[in-house]
Chains A and B, each alone.
Chain A
Amino acid sequence: MDGNLITAILFATVVAGTPLIIVALGLLVNERAGVLNLGSEGMMAMGAVVAFAVTHHTGNPWLGALAGMAAGMSASLIFGVLTLTLQANQVASGLALAIFGVGLSAFIGKPYESVALQSVPAVRIPFIADIPIIGEALYNQQAMVYLSWALFWTVLWFLYRSRAGLVLRAVGESPASAHAIGHPVVLIRYLAVLFGGAMAGLGGAFLSVFYTPMWVEGMVAGRGWIALALVVFATWRPLRVMIGAYLFGGVMITQLFIQGSGLQIDFPAQFLSSLPYWATIIVLVVISRNANTIRLNSPASLGKPYRPEA
């Protein structure tokens, strides 16, 4: 395999992994507070279509990205009101949001189906982009890729180094105890849900504005569900989410290259297409199978409603 091909695969892997990282890190924070929002697919779709429309009308992809975040946040606010204020079932509400978001995005997106956007140019980081093979792949990327790395470090710092992150983890572990020592459980959960929504919207915006600058109905194509699964299989740990996302992206891109290369192989194409899904699951399950670390990292109150006593 020559260096150019490796660079090309690596480049495409990083791009394919980025939306998953953004969305999954948002969901991770969301779930660490004990709230399970299954609506990420819908929130991504909303973010994607709103970001596309705003970018189309203003010509500014960053305004589009902001609008996408706002769209994801508003969708998650609906979910928050349903589950945190009205105490509705989180699973059912999340599924409803997923269906609702995908449907509404198709409706909003109708007029934009035949529109194309200017692609956003890559940002080349001087000097380190000149490193052979990986330089071009990692440091001559979309600004959003760098943003996803910054997000990773921020989430890591927030969860394990800040007091707010400690409180968030405590709320996810035992909301009743957190309430008993005086923390506003419902408010904290609202903030976590809104952050999850904003990141899902941003991930959607990345798809429609930066990755493939166009809008097609159903273009999120299950990435919201994959992000949800990634968080669980990564046992709610940021580094594993990152590994999982790139692994998924990498296997996806590699099998596309193989299918596109015209190599004569005995595997059916369907098998290759399914490869990213089970490869990611197997790897994450194997690296995260220590029962003790699972127990230490999984939010014990996940999916359980909590209402302070009146």
Chain B
Amino acid sequence: MTIPNTDTPPDQAAQRGALLLELQGISKIYPGVVANDGVDLQIRPGEIHAVLGENGAGKSTLMKIIYGVTRQSEGRMLWQGDEIAIDNPAAARSLGIGMVFQHFSLFETLTVVENVALAMPGKPDLAALSQRIEEVSERYGLPVSPRRHVHALSVGERQRVEIIRCLLQEPKLLIMDEPTSVLTPQAVRKLFETLRQLASEGCAILYISHKLDEIRELCHTATVLRGGKVTGHCIPSKETPESMARLMIGKDLPICEHGTVARGGELRLRLAGLSHASPDPFGTDLKDLHLDVHAGEIVGIAGVSGNGQQELLLAISGEEPLAEKYPVQICGTEAGRMSAGQRRRLGMTFVPEDRLGRGAVPSLSLADNAILTAARTRGLVNRGFVNFGLASRFARKCIEQFNVKCNGEGAAAKSLSGGNLQKFIMGREILQNPKLLVCAQPTWGVDVGAAAFIRQSLIDLREKGCAILIISEELDELFEVCDRIAVIAKGRLSPVCPVADTTVERIGVWMSGMWADAEGEAEGTTTQETAHA
């Protein structure tokens, strides 16, 4: 039937059964980009196979081809030995391929059972379907209540709904696209149990990730992609993170250098009982947040997305001014009712999560984008007229100092890759010599090399005496760069504790909203005491 791949690791040869899915020389060419270049991949029933690679390595494109969302430009797909063409997701599903998307494909305004019904053939009886959902959720330890609206669910619960929706169709192959990026460490554990149970029942799982530890723990085999090409096959449990990283990025993992321990400097940002109802009806209300950030320290806020991070960012940046002055104090000024521009004038700069749209105007050049936030601090505008020479020079400085790969300062922001644009925005904000930098998801969707560079820049900025607040969903990142860490859960903020005195596990427990003194001691004193402990 199929030609044995010479790259196949020897261990796999022992358990060689019938191949479930085989890809031969799959290529996908978009105008100007080769997303996949001659990719080979094999997977057998009951196997958990990792597809490992950085952002932009072509993992998601490959999965979209398998799931029929898009079609390959070249190459063959064999399903149980027969060549097939998967023209659309419906065809993939009828073969028995299910996919759990990174950005979920759920309908927020519908209930859980309606969402599941949409994926089932024929006219389902909603009551009977609810029961089946409960059965499956029982069997695989995925608690979810069928009658609830999806918009009211946490991100972890939504993922469960997606998985249940796939499981109800009894898939032979389940594709999981970066499933753990939205989960607490405990929830990841739970998910792995579910996946192992599924695999033991004979379901093959394609597990896409760039997290080496997870892959080593969970997956039987792995295919590593770099720049759209397969750079290796391996047995993850027999590799070290370093050896897999070399396959993935082509060089050793860069390591950040942390400077001296922070000293309690001048108070730069204080949240004094910040409460705010979310403008979005499906958002999270902020409830009585207290936090101090001092000069020369990095404070991190961890949390699963959708727990109030968006609302907190809007309240700090000034995009959503508050009714009162006192809850947000920037560099000693009560700034609660100030606009974003007024707050920047106090010495704050801000890197939003959404870089294309909030952080930069996609169609404007980098120089124009630099003017947008640095006009006053860098004197780029004089009596209402833009000094284009200065603006270009400033943009060039950002590009040079932050290694932005682009077509000069005249390039449109949208022409840059996510990582490069993030480096540019970080450069633009850091080079304004802020007293306070507020930064959301600094390395989200950025490749490993650029992420390390951005983290190092943040640490260097701290050394210069800037106060930095980072809101991130990446726990590892927070533990790497922060001096102190807190957790936001359901719109409340946990006590702040020094990173050295806590563990990933403890923060993980806090991320589900369980810190011992969550209700009683949310006073400002708590945070200050822990700060100087």
Contacts and interface: CB of A to CB of B under 8 A. Distances in A.
Contact of A173 (B64, B93, B108): B108
Contacts, number: 75
A262 interface: no
Nearest to B166: A181
Nearest to B115: A170
Interface stretch (B117-125, B136-144, B254-262): B117-125
Contact of A166 (B70, B105, B117, B122): B117
A182 B114 contact: no
A169 interface: yes
B69 A170 contact: no
Interface stretch (A14-22, A119-127, A226-234, A291-299): A291-299
A179 interface: yes
B123 A163 contact: yes
B90 interface: yes
B89 interface: yes
The interface centre, meaning the residue of B119, B122, B149, B151 with most chain A CB atoms within 10 A of its CB, is B119
Contacts of B104: 177
A167 B123 CA distance: 11
Given A169-B110, A295-B282, A180 B124 contact: no
A176 interface: yes
A7 interface: no
A181 B117 CA distance: 11
Contacts of B110: 166, 169-170, 173
A182 B117 contact: no
B107 interface: yes
Given A295-B109, A297-B109, A309-B70, A183 B281 contact: no
A288 interface: no
Contacts of B497: none
Contact of B88 (A163, A167, A308): A308
Interface in A261-310: 291-292, 294-297, 300, 308-310
Majority secondary structure, B binding face: loop
B107 A182 contact: no
A178 B101 CA distance: 13
A218 B49 CA distance: 67
Nearest to A161: B126
B282 A177 contact: no
A181 B118 contact: yes
B99 interface: yes
Given A170-B110, A180-B89, A181-B89, A163 B105 contact: no
B71 interface: yes
Contact of A177 (B88, B105, B281): B105
Nearest to A295: B281
Contacts of B117: 163, 166
Nearest to B108: A173
A214 to B, nearest CB: 44
A174 B107 contact: yes
A180 B108 contact: no
Given A296-B109, A309-B69, A182 B281 contact: no
A174 B64 CA distance: 18
B88 A182 contact: yes
A295 B281 CA distance: 8
B106 A180 contact: no
A162 B114 CA distance: 11
A283 to B, nearest CB: 22
Given A170-B118, A177-B105, A177-B106, A309 B64 contact: yes
Nearest to A173: B107
A266 B90 CA distance: 66
Contacts of A178: 107, 118
A172 B257 CA distance: 50
B119 A181 contact: yes
A176 B104 CA distance: 10
Which of A180, A181, A292, A300 has the most chain B CB within a 10 Å cutoff? A181
B281 A291 contact: yes
Interface string B2-40: 000000000000000000000000000000000000000
B209 to A, nearest CB: 20
A290 B165 CA distance: 31
Nearest to B124: A163
A169 B115 CA distance: 11
Contacts of A300: 108-109
Nearest to A176: B105
Nearest to A177: B105
Contacts of A169: 107, 109-110
A80 B93 CA distance: 29
Contacts of B123: 162-163
A166 B114 contact: yes
A180 B114 CA distance: 16
Contacts of A170: 107, 110, 118
A304 B183 CA distance: 31
Contacts of B70: 309-310
B89 A182 contact: yes
Contacts of B107: 169-170, 173-174, 177-178
A297 B119 CA distance: 21
Contact of A181 (B71, B105, B114, B124): B105
Contact of B109 (A163, A173, A182): A173
A292 B91 CA distance: 36
A179 B69 contact: yes
A292 B281 CA distance: 5
Contacts of A163: 117, 122-124
B105 A182 contact: no
A181 B71 CA distance: 16
Given A166-B117, A166-B118, A170-B118, A180 B281 contact: no
A291 to B, nearest CB: 4
A83 B92 CA distance: 28
A274 to B, nearest CB: 33
A162 B117 CA distance: 11
A183 B68 CA distance: 12
A162 to B, nearest CB: 8
Contacts of B165: 181
A241 B89 CA distance: 36
Contacts of A180: 67, 69, 89, 99, 101, 105
Contacts of A291: 281
B386 to A, nearest CB: 32
Leading 9 A-B pairs by shortest Cβ distance: A182-B90, A177-B105, A292-B281, A309-B70, A291-B281, A180-B105, A181-B119, A163-B123, A182-B89
Interface of A: 162-163, 166-167, 169-170, 173-174, 176-183, 291-292, 294-297, 300, 308-310
Given A181-B89, A183-B118, A297-B109, 8 more contacts: A163-B117, A163-B122, A166-B117, A170-B107, A181-B105, A182-B90, A295-B109, A308-B69
8 contacts: A166-B110, A173-B108, A177-B106, A180-B67, A180-B105, A182-B88, A292-B281, A295-B281
